[in-house]
Structure 1
Amino acid sequence: MTMPRYTREVGRKFYADGTPHSFPGNTIICMLSPTQPLFQVASAFQAALGKTSVGAKFAFLPPASFHMTVMDLLCDQARDPAHWAHALPRESTMAEADAFVYARVQPLVPPAELVMRVVGIFYGNNLMLTLEPADEATRTALHTYRASVAAATGIRFPDHDTYGFHLSLAYRLIEVTPAEAQVLAKVCHNWGPALQAAGAALVLPPPQLCRFDDMSNFVPLETAGY
């Protein structure tokens, strides 16, 4: 019997059976409201892919956690100098890391509204909808806010200026066969137009500073007593 060839996400963000693995951190995100057309179409896309022969190779994220990451911050498993705040000791607990970013990010004024659009579907190690600003106002607001967060926290990843906005739908757990890759490509091709139409003018709420224990749930830090 051939053993599955697991991806790097097994033992990192997920267990082999697809349940979330501990992966604590904090981040700034815009949640996708269930009232948005994209929420419904993305959920249906997940369900359709899950019924195919390749669906079992993925861990699907719960729709309640659908979001666009505005800026990654501190992660327990990424404590190297390029991904950690210089002013915070690298041996700090994640509770201390949460308090550190809260004190510096909370006073900043986030954009009141961001309008994004779905560009396409990326299906490498993780399955995501690629996004881009739908207008110049959003592009400027994102750039300005991310720059202010970086200045306030001292967190500026190497890809800060090239970061690709996206909405993650699933993580691949097991390497796919050539036949499964064709199935995946076909499903993504078939659903692409509907996803782009539903996300042609995606209005997102103001970014929120959140903490997470794993990839299934994101909790605003302002509700966590900091």
Structure 2
Amino acid sequence: MTMPRYTREVGRKFHADGTPQYFPGNTIICLVAPTHSLFQVASAFQEALRKTSVGSMFAFLPPASFHMTVMDLLCDQVRDPDHWAPALPRESTMAEADAFVYARVQPLVPPTELVMRVVGIFFGDNLMLTLEPADEATRKALHTYRASVAVATGLRFPDHDTYGFHLSLAYRLIELTAAEEEVLTNVCHDWEPALRAAGAELVLPQPQLCRFDDMSHFVPIEGLR
């Protein structure tokens, strides 16, 4: 029997069976409302892919966690100088890291509302909907807020100016063969028009500073000192 060729996410963010692995960190996100049409269509797309011959090769994120990342912050397993705050000791616990970002991000005024749109489906290392600002006001609000967070925290990743906004739906667990890639491509192409239509005007709520233990659940950071 040929052993599966696991992706880099196995042993990092997920176990081989697709269950989330401990991968703590903090981030700023906007959750997608369950009442939004995109939430419903994206959930249906996940189910359609899950039922194909390649469905078992993905770890699907729970719809309750659907979100757009506004800005990545600190991650326990990524402590290199490019991705860690200079003012925070590299050996700090994640509880200390959460308190650090809270003290610096909480005083900032986030945008009250962001309007994005779905551009398409990206199905490389992970399966995501690519997003872009739907209007100039959102583009400016994102740029201004991200810049203020970078100054306040000292976190400005190498891709800060080129960061691609997205909504993750699943992570690859196993490298696909050419035939399996064709199955994935076909289902993505079949669903892309419906996803773009549902996400033509994705109104997102105010960004939230959150912590996470894994990729399945994000908890607002509140009241830390």
Q: What's the TM-score, normalizing by structure 2?
A: 0.99
1: CA distance, partners of 2:181 / 2:36: 30
- The answer to whether 1:10 aligns with 2:17 is no
- Partner of residue 63, structure 1: 63
Q: Quick one: distance in 2 between partners of 1:71 and 1:4?
A: 33
Secondary structure, aligned partner of 2:169: strand
C-alpha separation in 1, matches of 2:116 and 2:78: 28
Q: Which residue in the other structure is 1:158 paired with?
A: 158
SS of the counterpart of 1:151? helix
Q: Which residue of 2 is the match for residue 199 of structure 1?
A: 199
- Inter-partner Cα distance in structure 1 for 2:17 and 2:57: 10
Deviations 1:62-98 (A, max 9, x none): 0000000000000001000000000000000000000
Are 1:45 and 2:24 an aligned pair? Answer: no
Identify the residue that residue 90 of structure 1 maps to in structure 2. 90
- 1:23 corresponds in structure 2 to 23
Is there any run of 5+ residues in structure 1 with no aligned partner, and where? none
Q: Give the whole-Å Cα distance in 2 for the aligned partners of 1:131 and 1:64.
A: 19
> Which residue does the alignment assign to 2:126?
126
Task: Write the distance in 2 (CA, Å) between the matches of 1:225 and 1:35.
Answer: 31
Amino acid at match of 1:36: H
Alpha-carbon distance in structure 1 between the residues aligned to 2:174 and 2:183: 15
Is 1:171 matched with 2:150?
Answer: no
Q: Does 1:74 align with 2:112?
A: no
CA deviation profile, 1:136-168 (whole Å, cap 9, x unmatched): 000000000000000000000000000000000
Looking at structure 1, the residues matched to 102 and 36 of structure 2 have their Cα atoms a distance apart, in angstroms, of: 29
Q: Percent identity?
A: 84
Q: Secondary structure at the match of 1:40?
A: helix
CA distance in 2, matches of 1:169, 1:225: 30
RMSD across aligned C-alpha pairs, in angstroms? 0.7
Segments of 4+ in structure 1 off by > 2 A? none
Offset at residue 225 of structure 1 (A): 4.8
Q: Distance in 2 between matches of 1:124 and 1:83?
A: 23
Deviations 1:162-185 (A, max 9, x none): 000000000000001111100100
| Partner-residue secondary structure (3-state), 1:190 | helix
TM-score, reference length from structure 1:
0.99
Aligned length: 225
Contact 2:99 2:224 in 1 (8 A): no
Q: Which runs of 5+ in 2 are unaligned?
A: none
**In 2: Cα distance, 1:83 partner to 1:225 partner:** 22
Residue 103 of structure 2 is matched in structure 1 by 103
